[in-house]
Amino acid sequence: MENNEKPVIGITTGDLNGIGPEVIIKTFSDNRMLEICTPVIFASNKVINYYRKLITEYPFAFTSTKDMANLNPKTVNIFNCWEEEVPVQPGLFSEAAGKYAVRSLMVATQCLKDKELDAMVTAPIHKNNTNLPDFPYTGHTPFLKDKFGAKDVLMLLFSEGLRVALVTEHVPIAKVAELITKEAIQSKLTLLRETLIKDFGIDKPRIAVLGLNPHAGDDGQIGNEEKTIIKPAIDQAQQQGHLVYGPYSADAFFARATYTQFDAVLAMYHDQGLVPFKTLAQDLGVNYTAGLPVIRTSPDHGTAFDIAGKNLADPSSFREAVYQAIDLLKQRRNYEQYTANPLRRGKIEKEKEVSDD
């Protein structure tokens, strides 16, 4: 993507029977989206037309293609990943819906890897439908980690004024404690700090770390993980000169709005971080996979089978995921340009010091 070009954003459909196709159509029926990006939806004309007929008040035009070198920058592009008829049954679990959701994801990811896309936004999939022989993953994050050969990745959800990252993701509560190690926390802290600097433009990020147990262990009365694992990981980060603090008791931390004093929060497990995040984000949260050489975002909601096909889905989070993918691209590109020329960087820093004086 050159400075004067619109980014090409790949869009996966998610589960064909979920709300993914609906929020995609509602998002890109607004022609203003075409002023900031060239969208490529990885699906089939038939699936998109099926949902387009359900939500007729959202006029949605597109161009069909099978060639990434032949995209139309003035309209929505549908990259046809399959031609066969696929039964679409909104709201129902279906092996076919999961199979073609995976097809959409795999084709889009390969295009991203081949640099035919600048970023990717993924609509939600359902784990029961994607438990397939060629997709042995619990979700998008581990799949992308494997696909891009990343040593580690970080699930980071963010909205205005709040960023929450996770040490563990989609694992049973019974297994969380055994996965909380000093090494795991240090790895996630490193990824979180790096993405805050590179992708969010925060030079010296302040990071809060939550405890695992109620009341952060109450000084060992309700578990020792804080004293033996979490605090030593925090101490080591501080010794390296990083602004990392904790461990904090999760309930008081969010109830007292302590998170407003930090650039990001590292939670130990899924619901510890995502329940308060989704409560505070108000349908504008975005899921970001940090640690990859590419940009991937998604909305912070699931497939919502209960409202699929009823024209009730709110596209706000999906639209925000598209906006943020574009912003993250620009910020990462700025960071790469800034750090590529040390002489230029020194000049900028000197000018900044003079202006501050």
User: Do 183 and 141 sit in the same domain of this protein?
Assistant: no
Q: Concatenated DSSP letters for 110-153?
A: HHHHTTS-SEEEE----TTT--BTTB--SSHHHHHHHHTT-S--
Structural domain tally of the chain? 2
Over residues 18-68, the pLDDT tens digits come to: 999 999 999 999 999 999 999 999 999 999 999 999 987 888 889 999 999
Q: At which of 291, 314, 340 does a domain end? A: 291
User: Do 67 and 107 sit in the same domain of this protein?
Assistant: yes
CATH number at residue 89: 3.40.718.10
What distance in Å separates the CA atoms of residue 348 and residue 352, rounded to the nearest whole number?
6
Over residues 199-212, the pLDDT tens digits come to: 999 999 999 999 99
User: Do 162 and 137 sit in the same domain of this protein?
Assistant: no
What distance in Å separates the CA atoms of residue 16 and residue 309, rounded to the nearest whole number?
10
User: Do 145 and 1 sit in the same domain of this protein?
Assistant: yes
Query: pLDDT over 90 for what percent of the chain?
Result: 83
User: Do 142 and 1 sit in the same domain of this protein?
Assistant: yes
Tell me which amino acid residue 188 is. Answer: K
User: Do 82 and 44 sit in the same domain of this protein?
Assistant: yes
The band of 284, judged by pLDDT with boundaries at 50, 70 and 90, is: confident
Axis-axis angle for helices 182-198, 316-340 (nearest 10): 80
Total-model pTM: 0.90
What distance in Å separates the CA atoms of residue 120 and residue 321, rounded to the nearest whole number?
10
User: Do 270 and 129 sit in the same domain of this protein?
Assistant: no
Element of type H or E holding 243: strand 243-248
Q: At which of 263, 291, 319 does a domain end? A: 291
CA-CA-CA-CA dihedral for 173, 178, 183, 188, to nearest 10: -10
What was the pLDDT predicted at 344?
Answer: 57
> What does the pLDDT average to over 315-342?
91
User: Do 182 and 286 sit in the same domain of this protein?
Assistant: yes
User: Do 255 and 301 sit in the same domain of this protein?
Assistant: no
What distance in Å separates the CA atoms of residue 178 and residue 238, rounded to the nearest whole number?
24
User: Do 73 and 196 sit in the same domain of this protein?
Assistant: no
- Answer left, alpha or beta for residue 4, where phi above 0 means left and psi between -120 and 50 means alpha: alpha
Q: At which of 238, 261, 291 does a domain end? A: 291
How many helices and strands (H and E) does the chain possess? Answer: 12, 12
What distance in Å separates the CA atoms of residue 20 and residue 82, rounded to the nearest whole number?
18
User: Do 114 and 239 sit in the same domain of this protein?
Assistant: no
User: Do 218 and 325 sit in the same domain of this protein?
Assistant: no
303, 125 Cβ separation under 8 angstroms: yes
What was the pLDDT predicted at 129?
Answer: 85
> What does the pLDDT average to over 143-165?
95
Name the residue range of residue 34's domain.
Answer: 1-150+292-357
What distance in Å separates the CA atoms of residue 187 and residue 152, rounded to the nearest whole number?
7
Judging by DSSP bridges, how do beta strands 8-12 and 38-43 pair with one another?
Answer: parallel
